[in-house]
A and B are shown apart, each in its own frame.
Chain A
Amino acid sequence: MYNLIFWAILLLLGYIFGTIAEKRHFKSIREREEKFKMLPTIMLKKPLNADNIKEVKLVNGNVVISVDFFKKFVASLINLFGGNITAYETLVDRARREAILRMKEDATDASEIINIRIETSSISKNTKSIGAIEVLAYGTAVYR
């Protein structure tokens, strides 16, 4: 009985703090995306305009985000029934956008970032522990 109450409290805390953290993160992501909107980030291997290039530099942005207890519970339920693990989709979206933003922050004065690649890996795959996702975004910053 006490285990059940303890677990329910963990679930509630996971939901409350997870939701607050996610809302704050999305707010910060949107603000920074607006700020860096004018910096082109493209996947083409060559710059849009090859003239007047002063410098090129490798820039990267890396982020690790942990899943909260509530999301993990919902995901384990979906594991039984099958279907999209929507609880993790927001997590992956946040991680990907945050990694790109950090990469942009690494290249503030660049005129564009080309040849962007995004890589992902999961940390702590052990089922007993809370999982985390790592996203690495890297590209070539072009300075004119």
Chain B
Amino acid sequence: MIYNPKLPDDSVNIPQESIVLQALKLTLSLVLIVAVFYGVMVLLVNLIVANISPKQEKELLSYVTFDVNISNEKSPYLTEIKNKLTACTEIPYDVNIFVSSEEIANAYALPGGSIHITKGMLSELTTQNELAFIIGHELGHFQNKDHLKGLGHSLVLLSLALLIGDDYSILGQTLSAGGAKYSQSAELHADKVGLELLNCAYGSVTDATKTFERMGEDHEDWEFFLASHPNFDLRVEKMKEIIEEEKMDVTKASPVLENILE
């Protein structure tokens, strides 16, 4: 027997296709499939939410609990302003309003009918109209059923992540980035409702844009890239357009803001 030395043939066991090309092809296919599925499911959720009755909504939300800061307190002053605004809405259930102890300036509407305004946000405000607009904006989310839509979209996202096995929550991140545009348009719509409620309850929208104008000075535009909220400059611009279009009053002085933080 003769031993004939040969080196291994690299073309047999080493794949010739570029791994980057393969990764690109697979990623694009996956993104396409997931995007189409997610898009269809989101449309379906929006359709269901649009046709859901207040009774069904109440029943649905009785299955859900939200872990919010327990120290959140009800405030009679905020409730009074909220009542003034809700008189102008068609929200079919009672909305509760709370002050949250968080220092960051924020306000949010939670499924189940509760609005939470942080102490940080309250300390930013200077007039009652500003506060009423913030509450009106959150009421706008309830009126547009954004909380239910958000819940439905998260559910779709969660099922997709579980289905595909999203170890690094990349899928969730990518889709929420994709959903950011949708979320931003929902925010602009809630701003519009906020203005309408303020105009209806107070007969004027003086100072409504002041909070965002101030907050816009503290933030850079890039911070809003793919964020759930549009940048403050755009929000102010859109609000001013609505005020002009709907000929809302901006001359009547705003009522004084009571300091409820002390």
Q: How large is the interface on B (under 10, 10 to 19, 20 to 34, 35 or more residues)?
A: 20 to 34
- A interface residue numbers (CB < 8 A to B): 1, 3-4, 7, 15, 30, 33-34, 37-38, 40, 42, 48, 70-71, 73-74, 76-78, 80-81, 84, 86-87, 89-90, 92-93, 97, 112, 127-128
11 of the cross-chain contacts (CB-CB < 8 Å) are: A3-B169, A34-B7, A37-B7, A42-B3, A48-B3, A70-B19, A71-B19, A74-B22, A77-B27, A87-B19, A93-B14
Write the nearest CB–CB distance from B255 to chain A, whole angstroms.
Answer: 39
Stretch with Cβ within 8 A of A (4 or more), from B47-55, B138-146, B170-178? B170-178
Q: Are B226 and A81 in contact (CB under 8 A)?
A: no
Chain B, 5-61, CB within 8 A of any chain A CB: 5-8, 13-15, 17, 19-20, 22-23, 26-27, 29-30
- B interface residue numbers (CB < 8 A to A): 1, 3, 5-8, 13-15, 17, 19-20, 22-23, 26-27, 29-30, 164-165, 167-170, 173-174, 177, 225-227
Q: Are B8 and A97 in contact (CB under 8 A)?
A: yes
Residue of A nearest to B16 (CB): A86
Q: Are B23 and A74 in contact (CB under 8 A)?
A: yes
Instruction: Known contacts A4-B173, A77-B26, A86-B15; decide if A30 and B7 are in contact (CB<8 Å).
Output: yes
Q: Are A86 and B17 in contact (CB under 8 A)?
A: yes
Residues of chain A contacted by B177 (CB below 8 angstroms): 1, 4
Instruction: Known contacts A4-B170, A7-B170, A93-B14; decide if A80 and B164 are in contact (CB<8 Å).
Output: yes
Q: Are B167 and A127 in contact (CB under 8 A)?
A: yes
Residues of chain B contacted by A30 (CB below 8 angstroms): 7
Residues of chain B contacted by A74 (CB below 8 angstroms): 19, 22-23, 26
Report the Cα distance A70→B17, complex, angstroms.
15
Write the nearest CB–CB distance from A57 to chain B, whole angstroms.
Answer: 20
Q: Are B168 and A84 in contact (CB under 8 A)?
A: no
Report the Cα distance A81→B26, complex, angstroms.
8
